[in-house]
């Protein structure tokens, strides 16, 4: 009990800006996960590899003298390439989606080692013109950094919202909703699946590039467990904001934005658990527990509602 009394509330408060920054950055990855998990209805585990690929590409290009902002374009393209491989294995070779993504994820470990030449590479937090850096969080102009980060995320949401309102985006949504009906309407569902996987993993690669700049290094294991964080952010946002978004004309835009809030809440909860004295060794278990709980809530609520209706 004394351990809990000794907890410093100010330490938790000081960690909050870092939680928000990480939540916004990882929210980009969660946005990619939302596209495959909810829109396409595809269990894509490529994420754990493509996030590290984006980080590796960005860091190596920055080391080579490229502008950090421009390196993110190549991180995005590298993620798209990873998504294409998963899509090709699934659509052209007939490999089940989850197995195709696992194969790509495993192979990306070797690819990432090849890109970096070793398990990790550093650019240092003192590097100039970084798009994001943990040193910006405590800098004098930290407010400007957070404004840029939030604006960047809103622009991404706007682009994704626009994209899924186009004919191609509608085809992807139709494929995820009912692929047989989509094919009957003349939609090439194999093509839409590949495109959706490329867009999703492109966003994941972009997140990897930004996060590598934020922490000043890229690691071959950086994406391990990323899919769990992405799912946690998506599901937390759905459970908390589902009613708020329902019935609105731009409900889809609200849903996409809520993913970032879900990611922030995840990192706040993560820090809270660490603050309470839980060993960091158990944090993967905590992440899995959070996902399991939030996945179960809608099911249990539906079951309880059905029970009430039958009782009347």
pLDDT of residue 297: 80
pLDDT of residue 6: 47
pLDDT of residue 245: 65
* DSSP label at residue 124: -
Q: Which domains does the chain have, with CATH numbers?
A: 2-311 (1.10.3470)
Neighbours of 92 (CB within 10 A): 10
Q: What are the structure tokens assigned to 141, written together?
A: 């102009």
Q: Report the SS3 class of residue 256.
A: helix
Per-residue pLDDT of the chain (312 residues; tens, 9 = 90+): 344 444 678 777 888 899 999 999 999 999 999 999 999 999 899 999 999 999 999 999 999 999 999 999 999 999 999 999 999 999 999 999 999 999 999 999 999 999 999 999 999 777 888 999 999 998 878 899 999 999 999 999 999 999 999 999 999 999 999 999 999 999 999 999 999 999 999 999 999 999 999 999 999 998 888 898 898 899 888 888 876 666 566 788 888 999 999 999 999 988 888 888 888 788 888 888 888 887 788 788 778 878 878 776
Threshold 0.85, pTM exceeds? yes
| H-run or E-run covering 47 | helix 47-63
pLDDT of residue 1: 38
Q: Report the SS3 class of residue 139.
A: coil
d(C-alpha 263, C-alpha 26), whole Å: 7
CA atoms within 13 A on the CB side of 111: 20
pLDDT of residue 280: 78
Q: Transcribe 266-307 into DSSP letters.
A: HHHHHHHHHHTT--GGGHHHHHHHHHHHHHHHHHHHHHHHHH
* Residue closest to 86 by CA, chosen among 71, 103, 70: 103
Angle between the 142-163 and 251-275 helix axes, to the nearest 10 degrees?
A: 140
d(C-alpha 29, C-alpha 44), whole Å: 12
Neighbours of 158 (CB within 10 A): 13
Per-residue exposure over 33-62, b if at least 16 CB sit within 10 Å of its own CB, e if not: bbbbbbbbebebbbbbbbbbbbbbbbbbbb
Q: What are phi and psi of 40, to 5 degrees?
A: -85, -20
């Amino acid at each position: 009990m004394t351990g809990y009394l000794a907890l410093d509330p100010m330490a938790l408060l000081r960690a909050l800006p870092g939680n928000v920054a990480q939540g916004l950055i990882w929210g980009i990855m969660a946005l990619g996960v939302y596209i495959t998990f909810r829109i396409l209805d595809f269990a894509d585990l490529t994420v754990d590899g493509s996030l590290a690929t984006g980080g590796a590409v960005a860091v190596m290009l920055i080391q080579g003298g490229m502008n950090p902002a421009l390196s993110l374009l190549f991180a995005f393209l590298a993620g798209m390439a990873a998504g294409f491989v998963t899509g090709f294995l699934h659509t052209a070779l007939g490999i089940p989606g989850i197995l195709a993504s696992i194969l790509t994820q495993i192979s990306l470990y070797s690819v990432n080692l090849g890109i970096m030449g070793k398990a990790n590479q550093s650019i240092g937090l003192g590097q100039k013109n970084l798009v994001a850096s943990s040193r910006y969080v405590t800098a004098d102009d930290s407010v400007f950094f957070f404004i840029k980060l939030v604006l960047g995320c809103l622009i991404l949401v706007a682009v994704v919202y626009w994209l899924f309102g186009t004919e191609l985006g509608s085809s992807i949504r139709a494929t995820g909703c009912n692929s047989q009906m989509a094919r009957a309407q003349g939609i090439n569902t194999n093509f839409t699946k590949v495109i959706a996987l490329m867009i999703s993993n492109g966003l994941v690669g972009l997140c990897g590039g930004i996060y590598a700049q934020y922490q000043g290094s890229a690691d071959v294991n950086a994406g391990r467990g990323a899919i769990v964080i992405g799912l946690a952010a998506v599901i937390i946002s759905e459970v908390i904001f589902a009613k708020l978004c329902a019935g609105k004309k731009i409900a889809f835009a609200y849903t996409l934005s809520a993913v970032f809030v879900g990611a922030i809440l995840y990192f706040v909860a993560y820090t809270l658990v660490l603050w309470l004295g839980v060993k960091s060794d158990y944090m993967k278990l905590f992440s899995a527990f959070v996902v399991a709980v939030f996945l179960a809530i809608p099911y249990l609520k539906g079951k309880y509602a059905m029970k009430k209706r039958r009782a009347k």
